[in-house]
């Protein structure tokens, strides 16, 4: 019989850029091949202002395919309920840790004090407001209690020789999982347009805060690696081309 490991409660998300081949030049290169053929490679860096203008034009007129010739691979740790939303984004490649092949670690999400707890407004356009200290304590206490009970059940079934894939069914959606996800900039912009709430958007979205916490970290890497594309994305209402 193995000893029950100590439960860990987290309120943050991990996003690490593992690998990237992503530059604004790749967008310009791909776009110019349609008019300049094989000479494009030499002309990519000729005129920065022209490149900026071209990227902006592509974004504005939604010529999307030049934004596909690049790649971002992220390692993400987030609760399973976030992964459920994340994996709805089909234009990406995923590999996630397995609850069948390894024992799940007792790492659970609990909302931090800055997480707004009260939902107001109409469906599809909710606003969230701070919870009272009593509401926060209630959430915190219930999350911890349920996770402890669920993990104890999980362990007792494992200890009794029940298969991991069966025992895991009692674990809650706030259990952390981990995955690699690879996307290109076009798909990433689609993801960011839907999974961040911003005022300067043409089509405002109202994502769950926890997936937005992941998206914000991905966005920072996108901005760092493809600053012209990122600027054009924002200047054109954060609409994926």
Contact footprint for ligand FAD (CB under 6 A): 88-91, 187, 190, 194-195, 205-207
Give the span between the Cα atoms of 236 and 198, in whole angstroms: 13
Nearer of residues 168 and 195 to ligand FAD, judged by Cβ: 195
Active-site residue (options: 195, 198, 209, 224): 195
Nearer of residues 172 and 207 to ligand FAD, judged by Cβ: 207
* 222 class by beta-carbon count within 10 Å (0-12 exposed, 13-18 middle, 19+ buried): buried
Give the span between the Cα atoms of 236 and 6, in whole angstroms: 48
Give the span between the Cα atoms of 226 and 208, in whole angstroms: 26
- Work out whether the CA dihedral 200, 12, 98, 150 comes out positive or negative: negative
Nearer of residues 10 and 89 to ligand FAD, judged by Cβ: 89
Catalytic (active site) residue 186: no
| The Cα angle at residue 34 between residues 28 and 39, in degrees rounded to 5 | 70
Distances 87 to 61, 82, 93, 105 between C-alpha atoms, Å: 28, 9, 9, 21
Nearer of residues 196 and 229 to ligand FAD, judged by Cβ: 196
* 90 class by beta-carbon count within 10 Å (0-12 exposed, 13-18 middle, 19+ buried): exposed
**Residues with catalytic function:** 195
């Amino acid at each position: 019989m193995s000893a029950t490991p100590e439960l860990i409660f987290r309120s943050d998300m991990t996003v690490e850029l593992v690998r990237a081949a992503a530059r604004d030049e790749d967008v310009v290169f791909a776009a110019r091949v349609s008019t300049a053929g094989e000479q494009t490679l030499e002309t990519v860096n000729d005129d920065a202002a022209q490149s900026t203008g071209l990227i902006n034009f592509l974004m504005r007129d939604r010529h999307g395919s030049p934004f596909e010739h690049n790649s971002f691979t992220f390692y993400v740790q987030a609760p399973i309920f976030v992964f459920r939303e994340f994996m709805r984004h089909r234009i990406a490649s995923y590999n996630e840790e397995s609850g069948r092949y390894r024992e799940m670690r007792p790492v659970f999400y609990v909302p931090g004090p800055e997480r707004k707890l009260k939902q107001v407004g109409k469906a599809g356009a909710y606003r969230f407001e701070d919870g009272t200290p009593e509401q926060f304590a209630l959430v915190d206490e219930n999350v911890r209690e349920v996770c402890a009970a669920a993990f104890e059940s999980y362990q007792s079934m494992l200890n009794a020789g029940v298969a991991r894939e069966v025992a895991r069914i009692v674990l809650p959606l706030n259990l952390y999982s981990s995955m690699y996800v690879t996307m290109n900039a076009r798909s990433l912009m689609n993801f960011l347009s839907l999974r961040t709430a911003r005022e300067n958007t043409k089509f405002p979205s109202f994502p769950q805060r926890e997936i937005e916490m992941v998206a914000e970290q991905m966005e920072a890497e996108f901005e760092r690696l493809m600053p012209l594309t990122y600027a054009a994305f924002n200047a054109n209402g954060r609409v994926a081309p």
